[in-house]
């Protein structure tokens, strides 16, 4: 099989995407650590719980929505529990399963943190694009997501 090398335009697009993938997580993480003492992943876990019915999800569902392994998620949820932001308890429908629920303190934290996070997203992504570019970005990321997530594991997060 012959290698299909990138042409100059493809290489430029790829290198720019790679740079965004490297730099943007650090920008988001820095703001959240500075303003809320949360990592971007901590915030993502809290946000997924905040949007769930009764602010509760099974750990397996939360792992799927955050694309985390259960051991990684368990470690993060333990840290959030230690800060009284999340609580775990046996699932009433299946005693073998564990639920995670956003606490009242966690709800206050996400409500206090969201405005700064949204402002950072606006400043570094949304506001630097035209409305037409936002539409193009939606289409472009949709196409890439279909390729990297063909089974739609994270579709509940990105299909809104």
CATH code of the domain in which 41 resides: 1.10.10.10
Q: Into how many domains does the chain fold?
A: 2
User: pLDDT tens digit string along 126-140?
Assistant: 999 999 999 999 999
CB atoms within 10 A of CB 45: 29
C-beta separation of 65 from 48 below 8 A: yes
Answer with the residue of higher pLDDT: 159 or 30: 30
Q: Are residues 84 and 31 in the same domain?
A: yes
Q: How confident is the model at residue 154, as a pLDDT?
A: 76
| Residue 75 sits in the same domain as residue 101 | yes
Residue 143, classed as helix, strand or coil, is: helix
For residue 160, what pLDDT is reported? 61
Same domain? 105 vs 158: no
Domain enclosing residue 78, as ranges: 25-116
b/e string for 61-74 if b means 16 or more Cβ within 10 A? bbbbbbebeeeebe
Distance CA 83, CA 38 (A): 11
Question: Is residue 156 over pLDDT 70?
Answer: no
Average pLDDT, the chain: 94
Q: pLDDT tens-digit profile of 17-73?
A: 999 999 999 999 999 999 999 999 999 999 999 999 999 999 999 999 999 999 999
The answer as to whether 42 is a domain residue is yes
Two tokens at 20? 């965004």
Model confidence, pTM: 0.89
Residues 156 and 18: their CA atoms lie apart, in Å, by 25
Mean pLDDT for the stretch of residues 91-118: 95
Answer yes or no: are the C-beta atoms of 68 and 76 closer than 8 Å.
Answer: yes
What is the arithmetic mean of pLDDT over 90-109? 94
End-to-end CA distance of the chain: 39
């Amino acid at each position: 099989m012959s290698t299909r090398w990138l042409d100059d335009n493809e290489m430029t697009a790829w290198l720019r995407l790679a740079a965004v993938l490297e730099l943007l997580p650090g920008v988001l993480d820095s703001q959240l650590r500075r303003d809320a003492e949360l990592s971007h992943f901590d915030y993502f876990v809290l946000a997924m719980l905040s949007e769930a019915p009764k602010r509760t999800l099974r750990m397996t569902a939360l792992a799927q929505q955050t694309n985390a392994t259960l051991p990684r998620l368990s470690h993060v949820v333990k840290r959030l529990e230690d800060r009284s932001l999340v609580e775990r308890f046996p699932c009433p429908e299946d005693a073998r399963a564990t639920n995670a629920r956003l606490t009242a303190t966690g709800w206050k934290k996400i409500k206090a943190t969201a405005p700064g996070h949204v402002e950072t997203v606006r400043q570094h992504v949304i506001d630097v694009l035209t409305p037409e570019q936002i539409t193009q970005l939606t289409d472009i990321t949709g196409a890439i997501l279909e390729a990297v997530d063909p089974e739609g594991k994270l579709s509940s997060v990105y299909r809104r």
